[in-house]
Structure 1
Amino acid sequence: MPPSTDPFDEPPWAMQLVARAEKTAPPAHGAVCAAAATAVATLLTDPRAADPEGEWHPSVRRWESGRIRKVMRRARGARWADAQRPPGVTVDVCGAQVRALVPGPVDEVPPEIAKLQVSGLDLPDEDEPKPPPEPPYAAIALNPHVAMSTGKAAAQSGHAAHLLLRQAPPPQVHAWIEGGLRVHLVRAGDRRGVGSGGDVPWERCVDRATVAVRDAGFTEVAPGTMTAIGWIVT
């Protein structure tokens, strides 16, 4: 399990995530969440992060030694272009672009990223949920009983993808990685699959889940709230 505290007397570390949100034709809520999860998984499995000799590996190990934090920001225009400069990876999922940056201390965020807005990313979703891709893929469901902005939900989706990489059965993780790290955001609803645009009952999702994200409660939700769950479909 991820540590619940940070190393004593050191600033906390975080992975910065940046979503592209242009004024014209902004991405859908669900697409941003899926892209955030994909970006996190892509960075963590990149040889520069996963290989013990990789240049990003020490930063990832230090980050994972404390409380796991992810900070979601938004950018458009020239600021989105600037966000490509610090080391990281950018993914495009269903028209939503998200960049995950190599983790670092929260008091040493690159200036191109520090000036980007953290709060206020709240986007509408598509009317109809997208069908799942061909397996293998990671299925992530957000708790329909918890109100979250797009930025918050995207960060929670990233947490779920992170936990799947670290805690799901290794054969499933291997298949997911080899299959291209596809992510499907499941729209969960009440017992009938309705509510919040849901097409699958939340209780059924919980029964299938391999991992569950419980938020620390710094923003939007109370500490310990189950915000997202995930499982790998093979």
Structure 2
Amino acid sequence: MSEFTEHIQQELIQPIILLVDREEPAGEQHGIAAAALASVQAFLGDPENPDWREWASGHFGKTVRRADAKMFAKVLAAFPDHVLATAGEASAVGLPPMPAAELPKLLAKLQVSGTQLPPGEPLPPQSLSIVLNASLEMSTGKAAAQAAHALFAWLLEAKPAVAEAWAADGFPLGILELPAKEFRKGARKSAGPVIQDAGRTEIEPGSTTAYVIVAKAK
């Protein structure tokens, strides 16, 4: 077994399950925001779980998987430690980190690639927003994972009082999609790290994908 293969098998990943209703799917921005919120709310709901510390010390990998309404209900029932996050029309489940090679069968059979939601209505502006690099033309699933990376990275670096105020306000979250030039320009004012993708799926390694911005109080 190569060192790379062994590393992948031992790697902890956080499963995020996005509800993709077959008849009335949520809009894309709503789904992306729900997935990102599911990631951080799962952590905030159980920060003393030792797996979080080990996971966050690495690349805090995530796997965003889609489920129709029937499978989504099964996930809710099967994992009592889940966190259910909502954003507009969308819902997503966040779970604690677990070994990538040992995902429960119910999760492992849920699809990752090809997750796409219709454009739908954009989310209203919020005090905190995730900015996505629209020039990369990421699928909904890929964009959701990158948004979750950006939001979690911001949370780890944010002052406790700022994060607590955001949570107390109900976790308001907007999604902005900017072309490459505006994305790079806005990154200078980001409130957290600018996420670079490892390039395992969809886009080139090192591509800058997402960051968080916080609106100044008036």
TM over 0.5: yes
CA contact (8 A) 2:135 2:178 kept: no
Distance of 1:153 and 1:204 partners within structure 2: 20
- Identical counterparts, % of pairs: 31
2:204 maps to 1:205: no
* 1:198 aligned partner: none
**How far, CA to CA, are the matches of 2:172 and 2:122 in structure 1?**
16
> 1:103 and 1:95 mapped to 2: Cα distance?
26
- Relative to the length of structure 1, the TM-score reads 0.81
Structure 1 residue runs without a partner (length 5+): 192-200
Contact 1:129 1:187 in 2 (8 A): no
> How many Å separate the matches in 2 of 1:44 and 1:20?
20
Tell me the TM-score normalised to structure 2 length.
0.87
2:197 — aligned with what? 215
* Pairwise CA distance, 1:204: 4.7
Residue 103 in structure 1 maps to residue 103 in structure 2: no
Q: Partners in 2 of 1:70 and 1:91 — Cα distance?
A: 16
Q: 1:67 aligns with which of 51, 59, 63?
A: 59
SS at match of 1:35: helix
Q: SS in structure 1 opposite 2:66?
A: strand
Give the secondary-structure state (helix, strand or coil) at the position aligned to 2:107. helix
Matching residue within 108, 122, 129 for 1:129: 122
2:82 corresponds to 1:83: no
CA-CA distance at 1:8 after TM superposition: 6.5
Tell me which moved more, 110-119 or 149-158: 110-119
Query: RMSD between aligned alpha carbons?
Result: 2.3
Tell me if structure 2 keeps the 8 A contact 1:37–1:183: no
Kept after mapping to 2: 8 A contact 1:161/1:230: yes
Count matched residues: 210
- What secondary structure does 2:116 align onto? coil
1:165 and 2:191 are equivalent in the alignment: no
1:30 Cα offset (Å): 0.8
Q: Which amino acid aligns with 1:82?
A: K
Decide whether the 8 Å contact of 2:34 with 2:86 is kept in 1.
yes
Q: 3-state DSSP class of the match of 1:83?
A: helix
State whether residues 173 and 232 of structure 1, in contact with CA within 8 Å, keep that contact through their aligned partners in structure 2: no
Looking at structure 2, the residues matched to 9 and 183 of structure 1 have their Cα atoms a distance apart, in angstroms, of: 32
1:216 deviates by 1.0
